[in-house]
Amino acid sequence: MASHPKSRVFQTQCNRTHQLGALAIAILTFFITRLIDNPLTSCSLRSPTDPTLSERNSIDLVSNGRLNWPEHGYGSSLSLRIYVYEEREIDGLKNLLYGRDGSITANACLKGQWGTQVKIHQLLLKSSVRTMNKNEAQLFFVPSYVKCVRMMGGLNDKEINQTYVKVLSQMPYFCRSGGRDHIFVFPSGAGAHLFRSWATYLNRSIILTPEGDRTDKRDISAFNTWKDIIIPGNVDDGMTKFSGPTLVEPLPLSKRKYLANFLGRAQGKAGRLLLLELAKQFPNNLESPELQLSGPNKLGRTEYFEHLRNAKFCLAPRGESSWTLRFYEAFFVECVPVILSDQVELPFQNVVDYTWISIKWPSTRIGPELLGYLDSIPDEEIEGMIARGRQLRCLWVYVSESERCSAMGGILWELQRKVRLFHQSTETFWLHNRTVVNRALVRFDNWIPPMPLP
């Protein structure tokens, strides 16, 4: 039977509607797929070098020279509460500070690379974050000048180990958390290895150290990025003044005699030996005398910095360990530090972009190629790196956190990120009413030390 004319018209219109609808769906599907695969510019992820992203996550230099920490991950203000153990509070703690006979003084330990143990302790004693109440403390600081004490003969390695174990066994708060909320400073290249049993007792604790790697002489490094904090080295106080003349003043680039220098001892290390040989090949470009610890050729404090300031670039190779104080000293004579230490860890990496203020060159490529590269960098770019370093070098200065910018302020901000709400150890248990007890079900406030170590 023939179809009705009106029915054929309706069918044609219906088919066209379906076709248009299908086309529209196809086009829409195409654009949605493209949008997912290639987001629009306004929604795309920014490159890590995008200044907008960088500014949000980096410290902010404001008009008065004060450095503001970013709120992201840190909070809007320092709200830490740190308990500092008193030297007479725990039997044996004085030995870690002054030696077995108590003859070593804090002032004697202030200088040199281990001075940070003293400075951090003294600054915390006067800090606004210090609390005298253990129950309100978020973190606990265990003072020790043990690197200095060892160097001056106050304790030997065996005595250091025994004394630390004795001290820790008398700390119920340490046992409660397994050491997670306790802070220790190890200021030298040995890092926490100075305490031979660190892996047993301090594997959960917060370690402040300039040393991020010691695998050249040890099976493992004592540094863990998730809990530990890299701190700046201890630069000579005569160079780190915020006001007034320093030990030596920087020279204009045009008056510097050398392209680069390395002032240090070879110590039998491959990278340093290569620099000594390179200096013999290119004596007009690279100054690299073998420094003497004693005798008529030993450089005094002033002479050392006068030599250091006489180059555009200060080379910082690894020595006994991956870190070197020379990296920090470079900022105060205003030469660009060139890191020649592949495993090095640098302080405050969460907020400081070191590509703006330093150079890191592969230690496997130390040779004429390095000098050629440094010589190719225009003076205006060198000046720019020096200027940015001048703004940030206050982060290497150990003064109160109340100053506009300081190493201590940076350390406290980093410690604030380490605070945990909850702590437990293998010797900590809790009941339905939130009572914390030990293995014998004795309430925490009734624990009698020494407790079993975690």
Q: Which of 94, 86, 383, 113 is nearest to 256 (CA)?
A: 383
Average pLDDT, the chain: 87
Give the integer Cα–Cα distance in Å for 266 and 276.
8
pLDDT at 247: 95
- Which CATH number is 237-397 given? 3.40.50.2000
pLDDT at 11: 46
pLDDT at 18: 56
Least confident of 325-334, 384-393, 443-452: 443-452
User: Is 374 a residue whose pLDDT tops 60?
Assistant: yes
Q: What would the pLDDT profile of 46-89 be if each residue is shown by its tens digit?
A: 333 444 334 556 777 555 667 788 887 788 889 999 999 999 99
Q: What would the pLDDT profile of 387-444 be if each residue is shown by its tens digit?
A: 999 999 999 999 999 998 999 999 999 999 999 988 889 999 999 999 999 999 999 9
pLDDT at 276: 94
Q: Residue 2 is encoded by which pair of tokens?
A: 């023939």
Contacts 24+ apart (CB under 8 A), 60-65: 61/391, 64/404, 65/391, 65/394, 65/404, 65/405
Least confident of 58-72, 147-161, 267-281, 354-368: 58-72
Reduced to 3 states, what is the DSSP secondary structure of residue 409? helix
* CB-side neighbour CA atoms (13 Å) of 235: 26
Q: Which of 153, 223, 226 is nearest to 188 (CA)?
A: 223
DSSP 204-269: SSEEEES----TTTSSS-S--TTT-EE------GGG--SSS--SS-PPPGGG-SEEEE--B--TT-
Domain positions in the chain: 67-234+420-446, 237-397
Q: How far is CA 276 from the centre of its chain?
A: 29
- The DSSP output letter for 61 is E
Give the integer Cα–Cα distance in Å for 326 and 338.
10
DSSP 363-399: GGG-SHHHHHHHHTS-HHHHHHHHHHHHHHGGGG---
Q: Which of 166, 161, 214 is nearest to 188 (CA)?
A: 214
**Amino acid identity, residue 190?**
A
Handedness of CA 306, 312, 318, 322 (dihedral sign): positive
pLDDT at 58: 74
User: Is 267 a residue whose pLDDT tops 90?
Assistant: no
**% of the chain beyond a pLDDT of 70:** 86
DSSP 2-45: PPPHHHHHHHHHHHHHHHHHHHHHHHHHHHHHHHHHS--GGGSP
Split at pLDDT 50, 70, 90, the class of 7 is: very low
Give the integer Cα–Cα distance in Å for 417 and 410.
11
| Burial (0-12, 13-18, 19+ Cβ within 10 Å), 246 | middle
Average of per-residue pLDDT across 340-344:
95
pLDDT at 147: 94
Q: Which of 128, 132, 131, 107 is nearest to 117 (CA)?
A: 107
Q: What would the pLDDT profile of 152-197 be if each residue is shown by its tens digit?
A: 999 999 999 999 999 999 999 999 999 999 999 999 888 899 999 9
User: Is 1 a residue whose pLDDT tops 60?
Assistant: no
* Residue 450, preceding peptide bond in cis (omega within 30° of 0): yes
